[in-house]
Structure 1
Amino acid sequence: MTENTQANAVTPHLPLFYKNPVLLRFKDHRDAGLAPLAGFGFAREAVAIPLCVGEFAIALRHYPIVFAIDDNASPIALVAIKRDHNLFIERDGSWRAGSYIPAYVRRYPFIGTETPDKAGQLLSIDRASGRFVGSSADQHDAERLFDEAGGPTATAQSAMTFCQAYYDDSTNTVAFGQALVAAKALTPYHVDFRLPDGSRHQVNGFLAVDEKAFRALPAETVTDWNARGWLDLVTLHLASLQSFKGLFDLNAQRANERKALA
């Protein structure tokens, strides 16, 4: 039996995880607060997590880094080999100890929203998140997002700083992905594997760098990519494909844990 697993990291209308993002405004959210992080259950059904280029060096130790089939060839970290089953989320909702937590996950429930003139970022939050508290007075451990004068608290300012840094890195990430597409350096990629029960599976639905095409890049492209640090990113991506073995091993471990609890 062969089972195909598609690695889709985006939804048709809203970013992954977000269900009701709203712009934070004092007139609407003067008493709003942020509850403490209780875990990463919101990412439990993720198969792949968006990744920025600044994360490649550390993420490759834990995840295969591949590219989504979209216009920007968006980099994604694979966290599962079966649908709706993030292998890095523990039963208690914590992220697997010792594993890098992608910035996209750490940013949630906040997200940056471009200003109308596209000159900056405004802070938004997912109202559907369990961490969003409409009135901080209703939850004593919630951290307020606005002070009495209507300015951002340290909590909101920290979130905005993180979102801005993420936006800056994502801008570089988009440029890298588009360059790979323009250079025709990507190819569909899949991995076949066998489970302990003998069933055969395939992980597919994403792209990887075609090494032959990469080695044949024109000299001027190589010079440009080297100056931008993109040659290093390709090397990190290719090295990360060795992490598929760790992903398969972790899948087998999780299967054994479920069997033991049955």
Structure 2
Amino acid sequence: MASAPANNLPIFYNDLLPLSSVDHVDYRTRQVESAPFLTTQHAIPLTIDEFVPAQRFAPIIFSAGGDPVPLLLMGLNEGVNTFVDDEGKLRGPAYVPAYVRRYPWMLAKLRPDSEDLSLCFDPTSPAIGAFDDGQPLFEDGKPSELTQGVMKFCEDFEQAAARTGQFVRDLQDMDLLMDGEVAIQTPVAEQPFVYRGFRMINEEKLRDLRGDQLRKINQNGMLPLIHAHLFSLQLMRDIFEAQVGQGKGPIALPAAAAEPASEVAGA
């Protein structure tokens, strides 16, 4: 069965196949102990349903560009994820975004002229295959209880993604997003390390909202999400220090050289 072209796939996915009761009737899924694909991914897509639990562990930012998406920042520099070791195992307490927990599954359109979504999986994942052990994806030729649960999780994710898209559009309509910049001063460099390349809520414009606008975002649930984002930004320094502690921090430049700067690039 034809697979999707790799250049059209979202992050983590190397290929996509629609799950078939004919081609994959003997397939099983099994637990994996690590997620190597996470080791070099510093920013993970996040839905608004996750803002409150996620903001306790890592900064929530918005990607740059004309179509911003919320991201959980697990590292400040490209290729650095402070929450996993070199094998992709969690180092300690962390929030794992639903985008990660969904992998290697996702709902996808098989035909451009149809809005129907089919349950697909990445065949390169070690979690799915014709194994002797693991939980079956089909029982008596029908989706197993596990597969039904996977479908429900993916459907819930798509609904949360739609709500997230509307949330971002509302922020843009109120012109509340601005280019972000964070400067972190350290004892080892005279100049601060400056991180750019992301967007964030403009607190000044938030304070200046008209009463009717403020009442609207309070009633529709946007205000707590905005606050969760703003509170989470205080963790930028924690992520920076975690990078340094892991030997993955930026290298300080001499005082006479250009200001040491790195970009927080969006996913």
Give the 3-state SS of the residue equivalent to 2:167 in structure 1: helix
| Aligned partner of 1:179 among 170, 184, 204 | 170
Letter matched to residue 239 of structure 1: F
Q: Which moved more, 1:226-235 or 1:192-201?
A: 192-201
The answer as to 2:208 corresponding to 1:213 is no
Deviation string for 1:147-187 (max 9, x for gaps)?
Answer: 232x1112211211111111111111110011111211111
Query: In 1, Cα distance between the equivalents of 2:25 and 2:248?
Result: 49
Query: In 2, Cα distance between the equivalents of 1:221 and 1:197?
Result: 45
Deviation string for 1:239-258 (max 9, x for gaps)?
Answer: 1101112111211221189x
Match of 1:125 in 2: 121
Report the alpha carbon displacement of residue 49 of structure 1 after superposing the two structures with TM: 0.4
Match of 1:251 in 2: 243
Report the alpha carbon displacement of residue 71 of structure 1 after superposing the two structures with TM: 3.9
Normalised to the residue count of structure 1, the TM-score between the two structures is: 0.84
Normalised to the residue count of structure 2, the TM-score between the two structures is: 0.82
Alignment check: 8 A CA contact 1:48 1:79 kept: yes
Letter matched to residue 122 of structure 1: S
Q: Which moved more, 1:247-256 or 1:50-59?
A: 247-256
> Which consecutive residues of structure 2, in runs of 5 or more, have no partner in the other structure?
1-5, 250-267
Report the alpha carbon displacement of residue 18 of structure 1 after superposing the two structures with TM: 0.8
The answer as to 2:45 corresponding to 1:41 is no
Report the alpha carbon displacement of residue 27 of structure 1 after superposing the two structures with TM: 2.2
**% identical aligned pairs:** 28
Instruction: Pick closer, same or farther for the CA change 1:117–1:12 going to 2, 3 Å.
Output: closer
| Aligned partner of 2:55 among 57, 60, 71 | 60
Letter matched to residue 130 of structure 1: P
RMSD: 2.3
Match of 2:264 in 1: none
In the TM superposition, 1:140-179 aligns within 5 A as: 140-149=132-141, 151-179=142-170
Report the alpha carbon displacement of residue 234 of structure 1 after superposing the two structures with TM: 0.7
Going by fraction, where is helix more abundant, 1 or 2?
A: 1
Query: In 2, Cα distance between the equivalents of 1:213 and 1:55?
Result: 24
Match of 1:8 in 2: none
Instruction: Pick closer, same or farther for the CA change 1:28–1:196 going to 2, 3 Å.
Output: farther
Alignment check: 8 A CA contact 1:66 1:77 kept: yes
Deviation string for 1:109-137 (max 9, x for gaps)?
Answer: 1112258653x64311111212221x2xx
Letter matched to residue 164 of structure 1: E
Alignment check: 8 A CA contact 1:64 1:242 kept: yes
Give the 3-state SS of the residue equivalent to 2:9 in structure 1: coil
Report the alpha carbon displacement of residue 142 of structure 1 after superposing the two structures with TM: 2.9
Structure 1 runs, 4 residues or longer, greater than 6 Å off: none
Alignment check: 8 A CA contact 2:36 2:86 kept: no
The answer as to 2:186 corresponding to 1:190 is no
Alignment check: 8 A CA contact 1:53 1:173 kept: yes
Query: In 1, Cα distance between the equivalents of 2:43 and 2:85?
Result: 16
Deviation string for 1:53-82 (max 9, x for gaps)?
Answer: 111111111111010124442100111122
Query: In 1, Cα distance between the equivalents of 2:53 and 2:100?
Result: 15
Letter matched to residue 123 of structure 1: L
Instruction: Pick closer, same or farther for the CA change 1:12–1:256 going to 2, 3 Å.
Output: closer
Match of 2:194 in 1: 202
Q: Which moved more, 1:215-224 or 1:168-177?
A: 215-224
Query: In 2, Cα distance between the equivalents of 1:143 and 1:71?
Result: 42
Q: How many residues align?
A: 241
